[in-house]
């Protein structure tokens, strides 16, 4: 399988959130600071990759009738492992994401990829699929976080970047971020549920616009090529 193709699919043409339109609950709920977004994205990426590999490895032994039950058990297992590890080593992230970490179990992205991709593909392909789809998910989260944080509180990289004591990355969520304009001028409604729905709506709208445009371009190019070929024949 073509890795470049897979990469492009995960990030753009078959992006889990923007094109497949699944796994939206967490996308809207936790994207208030960059720290949450990156943490959630990477957690999903790790869980997705592990689940993909395990499901692909077991695909020949899993009986068809109970495959969904087995997928769910495998996913719940990995989610709990990540949950426990986060609680032990990055407690700030686990506190910030709260119930949305265990809820990755019912995130349609993971069960969707297991069902649609890993059942029919080799371990290696599934591994890369997990990484690219996870990256696509993380990118969307990051875009949403940056936008909501900037408009909502005039900040960039809250929790993740600390500039008070020289520029450095903080893993315990204590960094103040880079204040671009004073917090009082921010539209704090963007930090509320309203902002979540609106930002995701605009982002998907933008994506549909871009996809349609590139499709039109492709069609026009094809059309032009055909015309040119016809002309050549005529001549």
Among 6, 15, 33, 52, the residue binding other proteins under the rule CB under 8 A is 33
Rg (Cα) of the chain, in Å, rounded?
21
SS3 state at 161: strand
Provide the token pair at 217. 């371009």
- The yes or no reply on residue 214 touching other proteins (CB under 8 A) is no
Residue identified by tokens 């930002």 is 199
Which residues, 6+ apart, have CB-to-CB distance to 147 below 8 Å? 190, 199
Shortest spacing between CB 108 and other proteins, in angstroms: 6
Separation in Å, CA 223 to CA 97, 105, 218: 50, 46, 8
Residues 76-95 that bind other proteins (CB under 8 A): 76-77, 79-81, 83-85, 87-89, 91, 95
Residue among 5, 124, 201, 228 that touches other proteins (CB under 8 A):
201
- Cβ count within 10 A of residue 39: 26
Segment interacting with other proteins (CB under 8 A) among 8-16, 98-106, 116-124, 221-229: 98-106
Please identify, using beta-carbon distances, which residue of 10 and 195 lies nearer to other proteins: 195
Q: In angstroms, what CA-CA distances link 24 with 44, 47, 173? A: 13, 17, 24
The contact set with other proteins (CB under 8 A) reads 21-26, 28-29, 32-33, 61-63, 65-66, 68-70, 72-74, 76-77, 79-81, 83-85, 87-89, 91, 95, 98-99, 102-103, 105-108, 111, 152-153, 174, 176, 183-184, 186, 188-189, 191-198, 200-202, 204-206, 208-209, 212
């Amino acid at each position: 399988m073509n890795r470049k193709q897979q990469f492009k699919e995960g990030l753009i043409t078959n992006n889990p959130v923007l094109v497949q339109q699944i796994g939206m609950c967490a996308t809207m709920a936790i994207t208030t600071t960059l720290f949450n977004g990156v943490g959630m994205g990477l957690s999903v990426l790790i869980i997705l990759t592990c689940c993909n590999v395990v499901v692909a490895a077991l695909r020949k032994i899993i009986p068809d009738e109970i495959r969904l039950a087995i997928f769910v058990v495998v996913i719940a297992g990995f989610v709990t492992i990540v949950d426990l590890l986060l609680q032990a080593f990055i407690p700030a992230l686990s506190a910030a994401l709260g119930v949305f970490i265990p809820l990755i179990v019912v995130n349609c992205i993971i069960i969707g990829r297991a069902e649609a991709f890993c059942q029919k593909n080799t371990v290696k392909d599934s591994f890369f699929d997990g990484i690219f789809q996870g990256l696509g998910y993380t990118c969307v989260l990051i875009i949403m976080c940056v936008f909501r944080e900037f408009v909502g509180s005039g900040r960039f990289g809250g929790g993740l970047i600390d500039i008070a004591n020289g520029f450095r990355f903080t893993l315990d969520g204590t960094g103040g971020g880079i204040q671009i304009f004073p917090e009082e001028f921010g539209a704090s409604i963007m930090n509320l549920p309203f902002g979540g729905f609106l930002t995701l709506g605009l982002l998907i709208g933008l994506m549909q616009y871009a996809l349609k445009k590139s499709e039109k371009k492709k069609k026009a190019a094809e059309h032009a090529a055909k015309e040119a070929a016809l002309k050549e024949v005529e001549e």
